Amino acid sequence: MSTDSENAHASRPDWVIGTTRHGTRFHQQAGGASDLLVFINGHLDDSEVWHEVIERVDLPGWEMTAVDLRGRPSHSDAPATLDAYCEESLDVLAELRSEPSRPVVIGGHSTGGQVAGCDAAVPRHRSRVTRPPAIPV
């Protein structure tokens, strides 16, 4: 069954919907850029909250992705805990980082901000997570 979020962007030629091996969905603005900017939703939201931001921001050289954490009400198949969210977003990062040295910026709102901090603290990502450039929205 597809979600409203999937339906809203599935037909856009510049968006790709991916799923990790553990079932976490992410919406990615296609482009194959070298640097990765990952947006993480809050507890009761989904990736849709980031789509307008991604569409309005013009950052040449950056590939932007919005994670769809599974612990929200429409994804009751996964636990809604901070640890579970962190594991899911790390799963997305592993899926998207085909090259280990690929720079990545992680951002989130509400619970997504806590998840971003959690991900940045993981030793294998800490040295590669950088401060984002100022983004006028």
pLDDT, tens only, 97-106? 767 777 888 8
Tell me what pLDDT residue 3 has. Answer: 47
Domain-embedded: residue 2: no
How many angstroms separate the CA atoms of 91 and 100, rounded?
14
Domain-embedded: residue 12: no
Domain-embedded: residue 66: yes
Which residue ranges in the chain fall short of pLDDT 50?
1-7, 9-11, 126-131, 134-135, 137
Domain-embedded: residue 13: no
Q: For 109-131, b where at least 16 C-beta lie within 10 A, e where not — what string?
A: eebbebbbebbeeeeebeebbee
Tell me what pLDDT residue 30 has. Answer: 67
Tell me what pLDDT residue 66 has. Answer: 92
- Domain carrying residue 53: 20-105+114-126
Total of domains in the chain: 1
Q: What DSSP letter does each residue of 85-137 carry, written as one string?
A: HHHHHHHHHHHH-SSTT--EEEEESTHHHHHHHHHHHSHHHHTTB-PPPP---
Domain-embedded: residue 98: yes
Tell me what pLDDT residue 9 has. Answer: 46
Tell me what pLDDT residue 76 has. Answer: 61
